[in-house]
Structure 1
Amino acid sequence: MARHMSIPTVFKGLPGGVSTFRESIPKVPFRAQHLVLEAMQKMLEQSGFYFIQRWLPQACRSAEWVCAESMELHRLFPFLNRHKKYVSSKGFHQILAKLHSLRHTVSNIRHAAVHRILQDSESLLEMLQAAVAFASCIGDKGCTQQLEFLCSTMNNLLFQMNERLHHLQQRVLVQIRICHSRPAELMQRRALLPEAVRRLTEQSEHMFNSQVQDIVRKNLLLC
């Protein structure tokens, strides 16, 4: 007589089992998140460069920062610390205090973009929110609007992707339950499901990557 198999046993052929099936699927495909991180880095470097040009033009020239690309994001905060004594404006120092409260997260944006560090959805959205706050604090309205759009869109796309993956999880569970009382068919489904899950997951990630790529290329005014 064929051995009766439980649903958790069936899922041993799938990544992570029942309890971790959904969590085992990357919530932010790497290609998409890298595009977003690079876009954020470039926009913040542009905003930071224009900010320094406005308040510290001579120091900017002395550092030989002739364009945003010549000023790496992680060098912005030490530069401002070194030269803040040359600016007497109270408004400048108020902005600087707000910027420094964002320093850790903003610096992580550049670090993650350059070193290809994988982020989960929560970390990526936190970085986007910090980027919005940074651009808004500096007074770069154009950059702020672009980053707000990117943040809102990414939040929606991540929700949609997680919904698709949740639907996939439910479909897998239904397939298992249908065959639960038929061990032979259950074994066959168990053999086929991992490949089906992999294929559908790849399709979902490809859709997400394409959507993010279109957003970055068509809607963000990167110089």
Structure 2
Amino acid sequence: MAHSSADRRRVFLAYRTVFTGPHAQIRKSKKVREVIEQHKGSFQPLLKDFGFDKVADIIKTLLDQRVFESELKAKIAFPELFQTSPARDVQRNESENDAARSVAEAVEELESASEPSEPAAKIALSLYPSYLPYKTQHLILTVAQRQLEECCFDFAAKWLPSLLEEYKWDCAEAVELTKWTRTLAKRCDKVPASAIDSGSETPLKEVFFSTNVLRHTAVHRLPTTARGIHKMIQSASRLAQTLGDHSRAAELENLHLEIGSRIRDMELNKNFLENRLDEQLHAISEQRAELDRKEREAIATMLQEDQENKLLIGSFLEDAVGTTFGRPDETGPMESTSVVNGAHESDGNDGDEHENVAARGLL
């Protein structure tokens, strides 16, 4: 059964986060339905609108076309999701940079022991930069912080046991991350060269201190962008790798890749929503222009008809005046017809009176 592009796009955007990794390789209808059933609670509105069977059918088609597993095929199937304008790109980069600067300034204030200022609220028709729910951000950063503190403790236990004895640090929780990195950075020259994995091109000092922002953001509850979190986890993975903790480095790298994938899912959805808004605003602008034209036309019609009515009323009153008082001639003032007629009648009466007087005289 053929489905509209809009329906296929809606299902793709919703289930892209589900049918990823191994799930993107599913081809059997039964397994597809099982996965949909497992995540039923998260997509109730969609399932209510389309029905379970229609959603399953669309997902099966998209899986067969490898749209979930290949971004190239997704671009071919839904090019509108990947389209963006240069103006939008500039706006998004600026918003991301502004957010990054705000976090950096807050961290600097924290490190200088001053109270961080509240970031200025911005209202704009943009869904960027992308943010994760704060609960999710805090979970990711606190887990990464704990992993790094354990990594540092294990490194010290193996290569710098005297350090632990000197300060009586008997567990990873005894020292916060920034103190671990600062202490280990000073003691690196006291461990064998083989203890440090120097495969990274990033300077060793930067590797140690790049995780400070992770600790400050987690401890001081600083909301940061999804891309900012992505970068922090990358720094965490690099530090674990440098300290030779390949197991934790791999786990953190997997988390880094997962966050990157989810950010991409978010941005695809944001692209669609912003593009749709642009289309809606364009249509609204055209409707507004049409309404403005109709408004001007209605006002002009009202004024014109009022003028016509005024002239009509004027002509009626002029006729009434002419009927009542007579119309003005071309040379003199207007005279009342009743006055003129009265004058004629008076002249006739005067003639009759003269005739009567003459007759009485003869008598």
Q: Same fold (TM over 0.5)?
A: yes
Amino acid in the other structure paired with 2:145 = Q
Which residue of 1 is the match for residue 193 of structure 2? Answer: 90
Higher RCO (CA-CA < 8 Å; seq separation 6+): 1
Give CA-to-partner distance per residue, 1:172-222, whole Å, 9 cap, x none.
223233343333999xxxxxxxxxxxxxxxxxxxxxxxxxxxxxxxxxxxx
The residue number in structure 1 matching 2:232 is: 127
Q: TM-score, normalised by structure 2?
A: 0.41
After superposition, the Cα gap between the structure-2 partners of 1:182 and 1:145, relative to the gap in structure 1 and judged at 3 Å, is same
Residues 1:138 and 1:112: Cα distance change in structure 2 (over 3 Å): same
Please show how residues 50-199 of structure 1 align to structure 2 within 5 Å. 50-81=154-185, 83-84=187-188, 86-87=190-191, 89-92=192-195, 99-183=204-288
DSSP 3-state at the match of 1:180: helix
2:185 touches 2:208 (CA, 8 Å); kept in 1?
no
Is 2:124 aligned against 1:16?
yes
How far does the alpha carbon of each residue in 1:132-187 deviate from its partner, in whole angstroms, 9 at most, with x for none?
Answer: 1111111212201110110000001011111111211122223233343333999x
In the alignment, the residues of structure 2 paired with residue 139 and residue 185 of structure 1 have an alpha-carbon distance, to the nearest angstrom, of 68
What number of residue pairs does the alignment pair up?
A: 167
1: CA distance, partners of 2:164 / 2:149? 13
Q: Report SS of the residue matched to 2:211.
A: helix
- AA of the residue aligned to 1:112: T
Task: Report the CA distance between 1:81 and its aligned residue.
Answer: 4.8
TM-score (norm 1): 0.64
Q: CA RMSD in A?
A: 2.8
Task: For residue 35 of structure 1, report the CA deviation from its aligned partner.
Answer: 1.6
Aligned to 2:149: 45
- Deviation, 1:47, is 0.6
**For the residues of structure 2 that align with 1:138 and 1:93, how far apart are their CA atoms?**
6
Q: Supply the distance in 2 between the matched residues of 1:166 and 1:94 (Cα, whole angstroms).
A: 40
**Counterpart amino acid of residue 167 in structure 2:** A
Q: 1:93 to 1:172 in 2, by over 3 A?
A: closer
Deviation >6 Å, runs of 4+: none
Give the distance between the partners of 2:197 and 2:251, measured in 1 at CA: 24
Whether the 8 Å contact between 2:197 and 2:241 is mirrored in structure 1 is no
